[in-house]
Copies of this chain bind each other. A is one copy, B any other.
């Protein structure tokens, strides 16, 4: 086990009717900016529940934060925060709204020029961003209890992130009933996202971490069971609750304690989203099988363990089991309705070289060994046509 530090100060309030708890969680009298995306929270009643709970707080609204939140949009919010002396940011939505809000919180107190610089040098993120709370409506990114924010700059087609301790939300309200009305595509993308978050921290190489391994497998097995159920029975409370809890646990830092981590799939996937506009979950479903097949020699021990414990593949040739574990993972994504080939999304073949070059230009250290080359990335994407 590697040395590590784990510190997750976010207060999680989980369950039915928990949005009303806002009135206890928010500091009295602060001027709140409520951030959100499109119109879904108006249609599913979440907007009204939040407004009801916020009676008595001075309130500013900022809607229109898009999926893969745009830097440009967030900067408009920063202007309003400053103009109206906002003191607390309440994100109501999924990971995109939350990530955009974390950027707004940091950029609002940033004084060193263009806040985009923070994504290139995390030490520039101010020590005390505005406090952020959230009402989560889409289980997927884990952003509700981590310090990460992934943001897209439309002008340059860059999708970058920072992850810093001061960007953990103060609190996160997780009411599974808010997810009943999610479109199947978003539910499925969320399951894929959580699954791949686990894979990034689990499918590397053995490091004497039996507890973390089993915690990761616990998440994978539960996502395998509950994901399809959520598509069949969108209003099943237990299923939605289990998915919501899995997504949070998949990227709150816990299963990453003391283990090697990969994240190449995310880095490559972010480029696909930035350049070609596919959903984040879709990008992961495309890339992960390619990374696993390309790196199956170095990931062999963990892929065999996954074959055994997650896919119950225990007999026969070891090489075949490794291949089957990857095949089943890809088929699981497909079974949720998430296509796994670049051509399914009309992404041109030259994406492979374009993405590889962009990552190389940024000197990204990819994979758990930090050594995936430009050629390797290109090969991975070429295998995903």
Contacts and interface: CB of A to CB of B under 8 A. Distances in A.
A238 interface: yes
Interface stretch (A83-91, A129-137, A221-229): A221-229
Contacts of A12: 5-7
A191 to B, nearest CB: 13
Given A211-B249, A218-B215, A222-B214, A242 B14 contact: no
Contact of A222 (B13, B210, B219): B210
Given A5-B13, A215-B218, A208 B245 contact: no
Given A210-B242, A219-B211, A9 B9 contact: yes
A337 interface: no
A1 B238 contact: yes
A64 interface: no
A5 B1 contact: no
Contacts of A3: 14-18
Contact of A238 (B8, B208, B225): B208
A181 B286 CA distance: 50
A109 interface: no
Contacts of A221: 210, 214
A166 to B, nearest CB: 13
Interface in A1-46: 1-18
A260 interface: no
Contacts of A209: 242
Q: List 9 tightest A-B contacts by C-beta distance, closest first.
A: A3-B15, A214-B218, A208-B238, A7-B11, A6-B12, A9-B9, A1-B241, A211-B222, A210-B222
22 contacts: A2-B15, A3-B18, A4-B14, A5-B11, A5-B12, A7-B10, A14-B257, A14-B258, A208-B241, A208-B242, A210-B222, A210-B226, A210-B242, A211-B222, A211-B242, A211-B246, A214-B214, A214-B218, A214-B222, A218-B218, A241-B258, A245-B257
